[in-house]
Amino acid sequence: MSGVVTDITPGPGSPFVVGSNIVFQMIDNGEGSNAPPDLISLTFFFGPGPPQPCTGLGIFATIPIEHGNVQVH
């Protein structure tokens, strides 16, 4: 997934500003108690500029989501 930041809550140490690009990966491993956990990657921040594509950046290292369920539509 990728997107452009359109609104933030200002604060010290904020890693991005409006217009920054973010990219991260989610993997939906299915439904039910027998399905393996869904996965999420770290979020990568890019400065303001042209939008970053969500493809072609490689395969991100992911970690299991401990609670919840990702649903990709």
Express each pLDDT in 40-70 by its tens digit.
888 887 778 777 666 666 667 889 988 878 7
Assess whether pLDDT exceeds 80 at residue 15.
Answer: no
Domain enclosing residue 3, as ranges? 1-73
* Tokens found for residue 6: 């359109």
Instruction: Kindly report the pTM of this predicted structure.
Output: 0.64
pLDDT score recorded for residue 70: 78
How far is residue 19's CA from residue 7's CA, in Å, rounded to a whole number? 9
Q: How many helices (H) and strands (E) in the chain?
A: 0, 6
Q: What is the percentage of the chain residues whose pLDDT exceeds 90?
A: 4
Assess whether pLDDT exceeds 80 at residue 24.
Answer: yes
* Tokens found for residue 44: 């990568």
Q: What is the DSSP letter of 17?
A: -
Burial of 36 (0-12, 13-18, 19+ CB in 10 A): exposed
8 Å CB contact between 38 and 27: yes
Q: How many domains does the chain have?
A: 1
